[in-house]
Amino acid sequence: MNDQLSSSSLGDIEPELYAKRQKVYPREVHGVFAFLRTTAVMVLLGIFYGVPWLRWDGRQAMLFDLPTRKFYVFGLSFWPQDFFYLTGLLIVAALSLFFFTALAGRLWCGYACPQTVWTEVFLWIERKIEGDRPRQIKLDKSPLSTQKILIKGSKHTIWIMFSLWTGFTFVGYFTPILELGHKVLTLATGPWETFWILFYGFATYGNAGWLREQVCIYMCPYARFQSAMFDKDTMTVSYDPSRGEPRGSRKRGSDYRALGLGDCIDCNICVQVCPTGIDIRNGLQYQCIGCASCIDACDDVMNKMNYPKGLIRYTTEHTIEGKPTRVLRPRVLIYAVLLAGTFIGVLYGIAHRIPVALDVIRDRNSLFRETNLGLIENVYTLKILNKDNSTTSYKLWATGIAGLQLLLDQEIIEVSSGQVSEIPTRLQADPVDLQHRSTDIEFHIQSLDDETISATEKARFLGPLGLSK
């Protein structure tokens, strides 16, 4: 019986998943949510294209300098050792996604996802050049002509130029953008930079120009597990069937209730505006990216018909069923607490970051040596990383053995901002103070100006074999 069930349900799903793609021509839409999305697109793209040009203290404000393995974020600089914070930020991002999805559905997809944002720009360019939806459909159906080649050619040229600019900006986050711009203008970019500009440009062009909704439907993992984050109290874009059905066309101003019709006039505009080409009246579907275009479109139609707005609206499954909706439910509260906790933790961690790191490497060539005075000497190389924004002087000492002496080749340890200093160091101890062949010791470093800036690193001090017990 199980077999029968699964095969029949698979049969329903698979043709839909793997059907040949019908090109979607989203119809232009105006309204509250279209305005919100356009605003989000402008703000997000403004940030993306603008931020690499900002300066801070004579350097690029936001630079993930891969060639030197340093990340600059305005006044802060991060190192591979600070990877921990990146992990923290990623957890915050994931929890935000869960939180907002549980609360109000796929807000991310509809307003902020790069796929949506860039597709919106590409659609806008397409509309400016090819005209509105009916003109686009007509153009695609028309036979090949000079006119068609000119229109299509100029669209793709502008798309490609915009994509290349996007690729250039992207690479500008990883290598200083001013120098990169200069290199591009003089055609002197390095092979890797050239490659990544073209690669990212191509990805933008392909994803926003050609693949569009297929990225959301076939490639996005988030779309597939949305139902795990939704419940009946989640705000989603929904059609109200109790109000709309039975749908049907009617004359304007006719007494449609007497005709036995609902509020839906079956104009199909909600389907035409949908960027993924679905019919929202069939209920919640994983293809729905929550862009609310159909809400804007339907409200417009309802206005024209003099019907109340909101036949399609942001609402919950419970409301549609006529039951009360609970916004503050355990799921939302748990996500909120986890999110706030992680966020505060990451902020606290960054604010209280110790801007010095100490690494101890034992000399590999000799285990120890005996000095003229009969002391046992071990040699180490200390690597001191100054993560602060200014040059800092440090004092250094070692503990773990009575009378342990630390000898340096230089008097003061001074490390300039963002640099690693390698300090050859010798430790000397009297054999009578050594209990074992190997003794655990600790190196300590502390800033001369600020006692809170300090670090400790463990190491081993080796002595003669005769000490073994």
Partner 1 sequence: MEIPTSQRIIAILWPSFLTACFATVLFFAVFDPLELLSATAFGDTSRLGAYTIGFFLFWVLAAVSSALTCYFLRPTAGR
* Residues contributing to the site for partner 1 (CB under 8 A): 10-11, 14-15, 18, 20, 66-69, 80, 83, 86, 175, 190-193, 195-196, 218-219, 221
Using CA atoms, how far apart are residues 209 and 155, in angstroms rounded to an integer?
10
**Tokens matching residue 184:** 């591009």
Q: Is the dihedral of CA 69, 73, 75, 76 positive or negative?
A: negative
Cα–Cα nearest to 278, from 18, 34, 26? 26
Residue 318 Cα distances to 132, 323, 324, 326, angstroms: 38, 5, 6, 9
Burial of 412 (0-12, 13-18, 19+ CB in 10 A): exposed
Q: Which is nearer to partner 1, 37 or 212 (CB)?
A: 212
What's the closest the beta carbon of residue 420 comes to partner 1, in angstroms?
11
Q: What values do phi and psi take at 396, rounded to 5?
A: -135, 135
End-to-end CA distance of the chain: 74
Segment holding 303, helix H or strand E: helix 293-305
Give the length of the chain: 469
Q: Which is nearer to partner 1, 65 or 245 (CB)?
A: 65
Q: Which is nearer to partner 1, 20 or 257 (CB)?
A: 20
Using CA atoms, how far apart are residues 446 and 449, in angstroms rounded to an integer?
9
What's the closest the beta carbon of residue 160 comes to partner 1, in angstroms?
22
Residue 149 Cα distances to 159, 164, 280, angstroms: 15, 22, 35
Q: Which is nearer to partner 1, 20 or 251 (CB)?
A: 20
Q: Which is nearer to partner 1, 68 or 186 (CB)?
A: 68
Using CA atoms, how far apart are residues 16 and 178, in angstroms rounded to an integer?
48
* Contact predicate 52/177, CB 8 Å: yes
| Residues ≥6 apart with Cβ < 8 Å to 30 | 296, 300
Q: Which is nearer to partner 1, 66 or 93 (CB)?
A: 66
What's the closest the beta carbon of residue 214 comes to partner 1, in angstroms?
8
Q: Which is nearer to partner 1, 334 or 361 (CB)?
A: 361
Q: Which is nearer to partner 1, 67 or 464 (CB)?
A: 67
Using CA atoms, how far apart are residues 244 and 270, in angstroms rounded to an integer?
13
Residue type present at position 156: H
